[in-house]
């Protein structure tokens, strides 16, 4: 599959695919993030998340929303590059860009069976957790690989 076909700029192309997966009885996993400077921690997290279900949708913050969340110096890599790298991973089935402050509206449209975040989040603080659980889904947290973060990589580069 052409990795570009996994990237969706809107719900109009993603939702029919998700609907088809659900009709086939596939469990849909959803996670989201900036995924700036993909590293071992990202790969491990995404692979473990995908193993919780059959298909994985990744909500990817647009450049503007990353700047809003992380500051003017981020992202390091642009949204097109980040989306293509994520789409190239065999365990990522769809990538959708979102520009909202949180992925709540996206989660409400996708209605995943499993919502996933890292263990650095408490389930009670995960955006969309209540919605997913109310609709019969579950919320899972995944142990993160210690010592890997985009911020730590940027810090290392700056100090060497």
SS3 of 96, please?
Answer: strand
Task: Write out the DSSP string of 30-72.
Answer: EEEE---S--HHHHHHHHHHHTTSSEEEEEEE-HHHHHHHH-T
pLDDT score at 144: 84
Listed in sequence order, the residues at least 6 apart from 74 whose beta carbon sits closer than 8 Å to its beta carbon are 34, 36, 66, 67, 150
Domains of the chain: 3-159 (3.40.50.620)
pTM of the predicted structure, to 2 decimals: 0.92
pLDDT digits (tens, 9 = 90+) for 34-74: 998 888 899 999 999 999 999 999 999 998 988 888 878 78
What is the percent of the chain where pLDDT is above 90?
Answer: 73
Q: Please, what is the average pLDDT of the chain?
A: 91
pLDDT higher than 70, residue 114: yes
Listed in sequence order, the residues at least 6 apart from 65 whose beta carbon sits closer than 8 Å to its beta carbon are 98, 99, 100, 101
Q: How far apart are CA 140 and CA 142, in angstroms?
A: 7
pLDDT score at 74: 81
- On whether the CB atoms of residues 44 and 88 are closer than 8 A, the answer is no
- On whether the CB atoms of residues 118 and 142 are closer than 8 A, the answer is yes
pLDDT higher than 70, residue 10: yes
pLDDT score at 3: 87
Q: How far apart are CA 58 and CA 92, in angstroms?
A: 7
User: Which whole number is the average pLDDT over 121-127?
Assistant: 94
How far is CA 89 from its chain centroid?
12
Q: What do you get for the CA distance between the two ends of the chain, in Å? A: 40
pLDDT score at 52: 98
pLDDT score at 84: 96
pLDDT digits (tens, 9 = 90+) for 12-31: 999 999 999 999 999 999 99
């Amino acid at each position: 599959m052409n990795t570009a076909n996994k990237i969706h700029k809107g719900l109009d192309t993603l939702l029919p695919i998700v609907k088809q997966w659900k009709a086939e009885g596939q469990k849909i996993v959803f996670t989201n993030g900036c995924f700036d400077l993909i590293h071992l921690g990202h790969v491990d997290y995404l692979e473990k998340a995908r193993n919780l279900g059959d298909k994985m949708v990744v909500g990817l913050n647009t450049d503007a929303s990353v700047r809003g969340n992380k500051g003017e110096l981020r992202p390091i890599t642009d949204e097109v590059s980040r989306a293509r790298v994520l789409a190239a991973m065999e365990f990522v089935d769809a990538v959708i860009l979102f520009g909202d402050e949180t992925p709540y509206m996206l989660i409400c449209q996708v209605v995943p069976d499993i919502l996933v975040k890292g263990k650095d989040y408490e389930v009670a603080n995960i955006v969309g957790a209540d919605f997913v659980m109310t609709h019969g889904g579950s919320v899972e947290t995944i142990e993160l690989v210690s010592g890997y973060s985009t911020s730590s990589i940027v810090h290392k580069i700056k100090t060497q």
